[in-house]
Amino acid sequence: MRFDVLTIFPELLQSFSECSLIGRAQRKELLTLCTTDLREFATDKHHTVDDEPYGGGGGMVMKAQPWIEAVRAVTELHPSPPHRILLTPQGQTLCEAKVRELANHERLLLLCGRYEAIDERVAELVVDEEISIGDYVLSGGELPAMVLIEAVSRQIPGVVGFNDSVVNDSFRKGLLDYPHYTRPEEVEGLVVPPVLRSGDHAKIDRWRQQQAESATREKRPDLWQRWQGRQR
């Protein structure tokens, strides 16, 4: 799978692309992550990509033309047509179902805005979908892009060493994850539940299911209600 990222701060993604699962996956040629500097497509000597908004108001607006030209140029870098995503608080909230849907694409092109906004004509002309990672505002789209890449890449076979880690992730089955423990058996008076040391895998599976349901009911009642509705 290929990820292309358009940004005015490509250096923000450098260490992310080289470290941990993403770096290892690239070395194994399971995915490719490429960044392109939007300023390369500015037409003036100062590489300006923003201007004052029509109608007044605070902040600067990113100009349409550099984005449009950049998206079209990056699209031509690889034969697979990209699914083009604008990271914005106005987009659909990223969730497990959306992550799995995005993982079906061979290529994603992520647009990371800055400043007050991006000229609306960019979304109208060269964007297929707008995605948000939550109901709050960040200074730019780079962190949301990294979140999306990390989440989607976990769906690619071989990226995560143990497939069970992905299958049992929180939200995968509509519930939060169950508690996890490792050695030693006791930490400051807190002991690993005996069932996990019993060797009885049927009991362990039942315990984990009960714990997942309990955690979801207590921590995320919205998810619990949704999950109960699907069980009827």
Q: Do the beta carbons of residue 21 and residue 15 sit within 8 Å?
A: no
pTM comes to: 0.89
Q: Which of 37, 39, 69, 89 is catalytic?
A: 89
Q: What is the rounded distance in angstroms from the CA atom of residue 160 to the CA atom of residue 30?
A: 11
Tell me, what's the pLDDT at 232?
77
Tell me, what's the pLDDT at 58?
86
Mean pLDDT by 10 residues, the chain (232 residues): 98 95 96 98 94 93 97 97 97 96 98 95 98 96 98 95 60 87 96 97 96 95 92 82
Q: Which of 2, 24, 154, 217 is catalytic?
A: 154
- Please confirm, yes or no, whether 164 is among the known catalytic residues: no
Q: Which of 96, 101, 116, 130 is catalytic?
A: 116
- Please confirm, yes or no, whether 89 is among the known catalytic residues: yes
Q: Domains, the chain, ranges and CATH?
A: 2-153 (3.40.1280.10), 168-231 (1.10.1270.20)
Q: What is the rounded distance in angstroms from the CA atom of residue 223 to the CA atom of residue 230?
A: 11
Tell me, what's the pLDDT at 89?
93
114: region left, alpha or beta (phi > 0 left; psi from -120 to 50 alpha): beta
The DSSP line for 53-119 is PTT--SS-EE-HHHHHHHHHHHHTTSSSPPEEEEEEEEEEEP-HHHHHHHTTSSEEEEEE-BSSEE-
- Please confirm, yes or no, whether 79 is among the known catalytic residues: no
Tell me, what's the pLDDT at 13?
97
Q: Do the beta carbons of residue 113 and residue 62 sit within 8 Å?
A: yes
- Please confirm, yes or no, whether 116 is among the known catalytic residues: yes
